[in-house]
Every structure is written in C-alpha cells, then in structure tokens.
Amino acid sequence: MAQLPDNESVAPGTAVGSALTLAVERFVAGGLGLGHDPDGRVVLVEGGIPGDEVVVEVVSSKKRLLQAHVVDVLTPGLGRIAPPCPEVERGCGGCDLQHVSSEVQINLKTQIVVDSLRRIARLSDVQVRAGQSLSPFAYRTSVRCAVDRDSGRLGFRRARSHQIHVVDQCMIAHPLVEGIINDSLFPGANEVTIRVGAVTGERLVVVSGETEDYEVPDGVTVCMTRSHHARGGRKHGGRRRGAPDGHFHDVVADHRFRISATSFFQARPDGAEALVDSVRRALGEFDPTTDTLADLYGGVGLFAAGLGARSGYLVESSGSAVADAKVNLEATEVKINRSKVETWQPASVDAVVADPARRGLDKDGARVVLATGAQNVALVSCDPASMARDVAFLVEGGYELRWVEVIDMFPQTHHVETVASLVKVG
Ligand SMILES: C[S@@+](CC[C@H](N)C(=O)[O-])C[C@H]1O[C@@H](n2cnc3c(N)ncnc32)[C@H](O)[C@@H]1O
C-alpha cells in the first residue's frame, strides 16, 4: 500500500492549520512549550509556557510530533505578561520570550539547564543556580538586522516568516544601536550587523550585499563584506571601505578591548563582565599572577585579559580575533595560537577556560581540555544540550562538576549562557 504523507497519516483535527486546545506542561529547548494532543502526541508550542491552557494552530504535523503556535490564551501560565514591546504586536519575530516576565524567564531557562544535565549527562544532583542578573532591556551592543531592500530600512524577520519587519524601535537594542537602526538606510543590502562600544561610544556597521546610497549617522564606520564592490556611500559622514577591516573598542572588567568588525565579542559588555566574574569563581583557587591559563576558543582575549592572566595560551581559529588578541594581551606573556582547538598541541596548564561556539567542545575539544591536565576548568556554553554532553565527556575523563551558573545574557529571547565549574579529582 502506498505510504501516506505525514499530514494524512494523523487523526483528523491535527492536520496543519487545525486548531487544538491543550495544556502546556513544560518549557523545552528553543523556548517552546510542550503539551500533548488528545491522542497523546507531543505538541511543541511556540509562545507557550508551563501552566498555560491555550488554543494553538498546528503548523507542522508528523506521526509523533506536532508543531503549533498559540492563537488564544484561555488560562495564562505563571509569569505570562503582555509583550512590553509594541513591535511584537506588529509582528516582529526578533524576540521570542516577550510574553514572559523577566523573573520567570530565568527560572524557565534554569529548568532547561537542569533537564539537559539530567537527560544528557545523567547528572541529577547538580547545583544549578542563577548568575548575576542583567538588565532585561536596552542591552544588546551587537545586533544583526535584516534590510527592506526597497526602502533600505532596517528590521528583523517577522514571526514565523521570512518577511522583513521594519522597526521603529527595538527595546533590547542598546541606545547607540537603536540610533543606527532608526537613522540609517541601506537600499539593496541583504543584511547589516551593528556593533557598538557601550563605554567608548564607537559605532560600526558591517554590510553584506550591494548597496550604493547608504546613509548612516555621523561617526559610524561602514565596513563592506569582501564580496562587495563599494561604489557609493554618502551623507552624514559615514566612511566607506572595500573590506570589513574596521574595528571598534569596548571596555570590560577595566580592560579596553580592540574588536575587529568580524571578530566575535559578547553581545553586551555587562554580560561579558558577568561571564568573567563567573569564570573567576568557577576556576576556584586559580591565581592569575602565578598560575598558567589556557583560554580555548579565546576570541579577542576576553577571559585571559579579564581574569588578569599573566601567562599561558590563547587558542583561536579566526585570524581577525587572533590579531585583536595580540593587541589586547600585549602586556602579558600569554602565547597566542591561531589554530583550531582540536588540532592544537595541548600544553600543560593550571586552569582552562573553554568557550566554544554553539556546537560545543565535542569529543575532540574535550580530549584537548583533558590533555592539559588542568586542575580547574570553566566551561562556558551557549547551548545547554552541548554543555551537558561536554560535561559528561569531562566527568568521564576524571573531573567533578561543582556547579553551573545560568547567566541570562539575552532576556526576551530563549538564548541562555552557562558557566560550568569542574575540578580534577584524584
Ligand atoms: C563563543 S566565541 C567565544 C570567544 C571568547 N571566549 C569571548 O568570550 O569573547 C567562540 C570563539 O571560538 C572561535 N572558534 C570557533 N571554532 C573554533 C575551533 N574549532 N577552534 C578554535 N577556535 C574556534 C570563534 O572564532 C570564536 O571566536
């Protein structure tokens, strides 16, 4: 018999476009609520939080899994609020947790971290605690915007759509970023990343795609991606470049960092400082004046410099970040290696801070951390699932997990940052 497509293989009432009433039971990775349909299938609900009784519209229907979004709230879960940003009401999809109070957001995120450690690392009794709390609005100093190609105005994708929603305001953007969103035009461009130094006031944009008659406020450095053949650029004193080779500075933990247009830097300096403080706690008795540190996935040197390391290693694969790190760490004896962590020849050190991208350390990165023999390890992570998997590798390799701090770097969105403190046993 011919195989029915997924949508036809499910009971009537759960096809795409149909409405269901359900209770949201849990909050899961990706900022989704989890409930069940009347036949017991899991339903992942965009816009749902635990305790909600909601009417949802099914947007994808598979044999065992439905995806849906909230169309009506019958009974609100604890912490449900009206989104404070008017752009959400107008369809902006830039933030996915505006419907949850800030206090409940951190609780929900902490729960996801606890669940990940239990399910993936098989660790149930871990001390998982909220780290330093950070302001929930006007915080982002780095924002990637979509561009309405005709008008050249900046915005974000609409919720559940590829369409562009031009914004008049952005409540999570730092005021210096918001100023650029409001007062710039990039007709024809594909994407614009805005980066500012909150302390220094320096402002820069990285533009991808063809744009000729852009407008930016005075003093904003404009960097074009390499494929762009810049021809235009005028008004308000914006500068034009043939490649994204500009840089700006910001100050974190009393240290002034040079950050190139394409180098990674944490998206808020107060959050970067909170991470440095958390890593300091995580490294226990590590003394930066006498002990050696390996800053793996070290970027422009945030942790090595922020902790005040005098000697050790920074390992980073991006050329621009390595060039920045050389400037940012020039007063130290930290050796800077441009290399993938996985192919770096591990050196013996007293402490490791590892801050990989979303995919985490995985086996090869964890092998390098273990080979350093470090007494203390701080694992910084932006993905609870890869964090839990990596913790399991390190625990298997002879470390004990002391605690995990959850730092809400990105309020109003489901994203979460964690710092795990591990110590060598035996
Ligand atoms: C999450 S960022 C952290 C950077 C830095 N620790 C900070 O907080 O500013 C991850 C960094 O790892 C670098 N990276 C990505 N994959 C890498 C790899 N396999 N080996 C070394 N560095 C890598 C990226 O270029 C990026 O700078």
Q: Tens digits of per-residue pLDDT, 69-87?
A: 999 999 999 999 999 999 9
CATH 2.40.128.20, applies to 6-80:
no
Yes or no: say if 250 and 259 are a contact pair by the CB < 8 Å rule. yes
Q: What is the third-level CATH fold of 142-249?
A: OB fold (Dihydrolipoamide Acetyltransferase, E2P) (2.40.50)
Inter-axis angle of helices 362-371 and 384-396, to 10 degrees? 40
Least reliable range by pLDDT among 201-205, 213-217, 375-379:
213-217
How far does the centroid of ligand 1 lie from the alpha carbon of residue 321, in Å? 9
Query: What's the CA gap between 424 and 373, in Å, rounded?
Result: 8
Tell me, yes or no, if the two domains 107-135+268-424 and 142-249 fold the same way: no
Most ligand 1 atoms within 8 A of CB, residue of 317, 338, 364, 390 to mutate: 317
Query: What's the CA gap between 255 and 236, in Å, rounded?
Result: 31
Which CATH code is given to the segment(s) 107-135+268-424? 3.40.50.150
Yes or no: say if 221 and 239 are a contact pair by the CB < 8 Å rule. yes
What are 313-364's pLDDT values in tens digits? 999 999 999 999 999 999 999 999 999 999 999 999 999 999 999 999 999 9
Closest residue by CA, ligand 1 atom 9: 265
Closest residue by CA, ligand 1 atom 4: 299
pLDDT of residue 227: 52
Residue 81: HSE in the Cβ half-sphere, 13 Å Cα cutoff: 14
pLDDT at residue 14 tops 90: no
**Residue boundaries of the structural domains of the chain:** 6-80, 107-135+268-424, 142-249
Integer CA distances (angstroms), 191 to 143, 144, 158, 291, 312, in order: 11, 7, 15, 44, 38
The residue that leads in pLDDT, 11 or 318, is 318
Average pLDDT of 154-182? 95
